[in-house]
Amino acid sequence: MSSRIVPLFCLLTAAASSVHAADPVHSRQAASAETEQRLRQDVQLMLSRLAASGALGQNPEQIDLRLDEPAQRVTNLGILVDSTSAEHARDGLRVLGATPGSTAENLGLRPGDVIVAVNDTPLRDLGSDANGHALAAATLKASVDGLPDSAPLRLQVMRAGDMLALNAPLQSVTLPALRMELGAAALAGTDPGATSKDAPTAGGTAPADVAPTGGQGCGRISIFDVAPRQQNLYGAVILALDGKVPGPQGQQSYRASAGTHRLVVAENIPSREMGVGPIASRRRNISKELSVIVKPGFTSMVAAQLHPDKASDLIRGGYWDPVVWREIAESCP
């Protein structure tokens, strides 16, 4: 039977940057830029691992996740232990690994060590919690979290049949407040006072700061339906991209070279939103053309904009228009 490895404490790393005494503002800006870049890389790596493991499900593009965390002090014990079951921790917590630069490494902990006590609190024969995990792990974490920064941490450890006493000051770091939003909610969070770059553009009219056709690089055109309903924006379907049927079927984002592209678009507006009763379900689904200027490194979000004052103009299709409602910075490999 395979055993699950449960990490108790995260590896916390601090970005190091040089300090320019003569220009502290420049130094802070450089440090912020470096930290942001490293954070982006770490988050992408984490999400890639979650997606590969199946934790994001069959439709990761539909994930709607919001994380809000206040500023907090976090201990950096940096240790992995086997807390799979009470049986595995009957004689103490077996060490599986220690992260570089952590308190665990400074203590001298090695894989295979068995922690039997922390600051004179025994960890043997503590049983399991409601989920079947060893209570010894929760006891160790609570004991460490209750210590102030730089407080002495004492572990009793069995190593190859010998009892050792390991001592080191506890390390901790203060994390800034965190707010992270993933998925549909992040894309749909448009500012009501958005500039022309965020406003819907239709009929081939591109935002003012978009480069003309003939640029280099690539971007994307997306019909992922996260447009804000308060702006009367709804789903759309791309029937043709530059005269060709885009594929594969069911795809919602299409890679495109930088420059001007001509789309043939159909609307996917729910009949109940049109305000003209059952007759709306019998409307003629008229496709319309839309000219989109793709900027390198950007995704153009396409939607169908409903005109409530023309909701009865079903036959001629005057009740809607295809629009680019937002551009999102997104790398295009």
Cβ–Cβ under 8 Å, residues 262 and 242: yes
Q: Do 309 and 269 belong to one domain?
A: yes
Are 100 and 205 in the same domain? no
Residue 1 within any structural domain of the chain: no
Residues 163 and 200 placed together within one structural domain of the fold: no
Say yes or no: 160 and 212 in one domain: no
Please indicate, yes or no, if residue 184 is contained in any of the structural domains: no
Do 198 and 51 share a domain, yes or no?
A: no
Residue 187's pLDDT band, with cuts at 50, 70 and 90, is low
What average pLDDT does the structure give for the chain? 77
Looking at the domain assignment, is residue 183 inside a domain? no
Decide if pLDDT at 159 tops 80: yes
pLDDT top residue among 2 and 88: 88
Q: Are residues 170 and 33 in the same domain?
A: yes
Could you report the per-residue pLDDT of 102-114, keeping only the tens digit for each? 888 889 999 999 9
Of 310 and 283, more confident: 310
The distance of Cα 83 from the centroid of its chain, to the nearest Å, equals: 28
Residues 287 and 141 in one domain: no
Structural domains in the chain (count): 2
Q: What CATH number is given to the structural domain containing 144? A: 2.30.42.10
| The pLDDT of residue 310 | 87
How far is it, in rounded angstroms, from Cα 238 to Cα 203? 15
The reported pLDDT for the residue numbered 227 is 81
Q: Give the whole-angstrom CA distance, residue 7 versus residue 60.
A: 25
Say if 321 falls within a structural domain.
Answer: yes
Query: Last residue of a domain, which of 139, 174, 209?
Result: 174
Indicate whether 182 belongs to any domain: no
Q: Is residue 201 part of a domain?
A: yes
Q: Kindly state whether residue 325 falls inside one of the protein's structural domains.
A: yes
Residue-number span of the structural domain to which 170 is assigned: 6-174
Residue 34 lies in a domain: yes
Q: How far apart, in Å, are the Cα atoms of 275 and each of 91, 232, 310, 316, 317?
A: 69, 12, 10, 17, 15
3-class DSSP state of 187: helix
CA neighbor of 171 nearest in space, from 96, 38, 79: 79
| Residue 199 shares a structural domain with residue 137 | no
Residue 130 tokens read as: 């409601």
Over residues 73-97, the pLDDT tens digits come to 777 788 889 988 889 999 999 999 9
Q: Which residue has the higher pLDDT, 39 or 237?
A: 237
Residue 140 sits in the same domain as residue 97: yes
DSSP one-letter string for 27-92: HHHHHHHHHHHHHHHHHHHHHHHHHHHTTT-S-GGG-EEEEEE--EEEE---EEEE-S-TTTTTT-
